[in-house]
Structures are given as C-alpha cells and as structure tokens.
C-alpha cells in the first residue's frame, strides 16, 4: 500500500497529463486533495482526462500547452496561479521517444525535435515554475528523466542525450534554489506500461524486461507514488536526486 499525503490547499501542475505517467500523477495529486492544472498537446485526450477526474470529484482544470514554446510555458504557470492562487508542486513530465536506430541514421530535425520537447520543454516549464515559487518562498519540482538518463542503450542516442540533460538541469536548479525553499528532483522511470511503452518494438521490450530484475513492467501509479513522495514533506531533505523507478535495472 502506498503512503497517503494531504495536499489540501496546495496546487500542482502536471505536463503531459492526458495519459500515462502524467495522468496517473495528476490523478494521485488530485486524490490527495491538491488542485491540479493538467496540460498536454493532445486537446481531445486532455479533455477526456480532465472530464474523467472531475467526474470522480477531483479539482482539476486542463490547458493545451506546447512545452517547447516558452511563451506557452509562462502562460501555463500564470493560468495555474490565476485559477488556484499559487503553485506548490510541478511534475514536468511531457516527453517523446523519437525515432530509434543508429546515430548515423538520425536526422538533425529528429534530434532537434526530441531535445525541444524532452530537454528544452523541461527548461521552459521549470524556469517559469521557479519564478513563481521563488516569489512564494517555497515549492517542489520533479522533472521526468528516464532510465535512459542514467545509462546508455543502443539505438536511442537523441532520447538518451535529452534525458541525461534533464538530470543536469535538475541538479543545477536544485543547487540554485535550495536557499529559496524550493526542492528540485527528478524521477527516472524504467520500463513502464504506458502508451509510450506501447510504441517500442517487441524485441526491444523483451530486452528491457530481460534486464529488469523485478521481472515485470512497472505501473504508472508506481511512478506517481515516487513523484508525490518527492513533493511531500517526507522528502524535505531530498534535493538534486535522480531517483530510479526501474525495478532494479540500474542496480546491476
């Protein structure tokens, strides 16, 4: 059983919230009493997700956001504050896998797209979240890196490069903002049962699971539980970490 938290009166922001890890985390924040701004690029999926959570009595609102656009990231934070009065927690989850294959077959356009979403997107969101939280004197941010931010696997150069970069951003921001009462951390999910995981070919998935000691795919709710812990007072001395949530993959 996961621990429970009381986030009543607090406000959370989740990007990439229409499905997978983002939806599970938005739902967990809301179930713990937080008001949640859910953002995604997929308008219909976001509408369906927010409707489902509202139907369960959760306090959520949705906003279509392209995290690669800094103006939209700034507007996203402004929307959270306008709607709910403040911003206490953020999970910067939006990301894409991009094409897989030999680095020499990657195009510059594909490389730029992966990094625009996975790395610049975290930077744009975190920048404006930090501006708001600095004024408040408190806050907690969790960025979504990946198992691919901790290790290298063949055929995923652009993706792994972007996710390693997320950890660098996280550590630098954690040091910059510790004195402002803001904690910044990252989670590094392994092989998780999400729509993104569905896009990985069967051979690669079999390889992942063969090296994941727990012997099964992770569940989105297990990553959400780690995010909520990192945002909670239970992790008050934890900052600048890249927390593997990977069934033991990186313990080998």
Catalytic positions, written as ranges: 159
C-alpha closest to that of 138 among 71, 208, 86: 86
Cα 52 to chain centroid, rounded: 20
Cα 40 to chain centroid, rounded: 12
Rounded Cα distance, 136 and 150, in Å:
32
Calculate helix-pair angle for 20-31, 43-55, nearest 10 degrees. 30
Backbone angles phi, psi at 123, to 5 degrees: -60, -45
C-alpha closest to that of 77 among 8, 124, 19, 138: 124
Own/partner pairs for 62-65, CB < 8 Å, 24+ apart? Answer: 62/17, 62/37, 62/38, 63/37, 63/38, 63/39, 64/39, 64/40, 65/15, 65/39, 65/40, 65/41
Cα 68 to chain centroid, rounded: 15
C-alpha closest to that of 75 among 131, 1, 117: 131
> What is the bridge-based pairing of β-strands 139-144 and 89-92?
parallel
């Amino acid at each position: 059983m996961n621990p429970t938290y009381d986030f009543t009166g607090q406000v959370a922001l989740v990007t990439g919230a229409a499905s997978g890890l983002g939806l599970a985390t938005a739902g967990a924040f809301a179930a713990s009493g937080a008001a949640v701004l859910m953002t995604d690029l997929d308008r219909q999926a976001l509408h369906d997700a927010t409707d489902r959570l509202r139907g369960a009595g959760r306090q959520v609102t949705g906003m279509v956001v392209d995290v690669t656009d800094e103006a939209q990231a700034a507007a996203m934070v402004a929307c959270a504050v306008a709607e709910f009065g403040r911003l206490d927690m953020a999970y910067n989850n939006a990301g894409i896998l991009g094409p897989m294959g030999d680095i020499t077959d990657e195009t510059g356009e594909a490389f730029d797209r992966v990094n625009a979403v996975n790395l610049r997107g975290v930077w744009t969101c975190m920048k404006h979240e930090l501006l708001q939280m600095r004024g408040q004197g408190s806050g907690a941010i969790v960025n979504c890196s990946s198992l691919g931010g901790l290790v290298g696997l063949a055929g995923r150069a652009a993706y792994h490069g972007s996710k390693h970069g997320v950890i660098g951003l996280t550590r630098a921001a954690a040091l910059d903002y510790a004195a402002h009462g803001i904690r910044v951390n990252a989670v590094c999910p392994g092989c998780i049962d999400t729509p993104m995981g569905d896009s990985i070919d069967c051979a690669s998935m079999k390889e992942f699971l063969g090296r994941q000691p727990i012997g099964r795919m992770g569940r989105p709710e297990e990553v959400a539980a780690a995010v909520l812990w990192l945002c909670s007072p239970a992790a008050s001395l934890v900052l600048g970490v890249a927390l593997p949530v990977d069934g033991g993959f990186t313990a080998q």
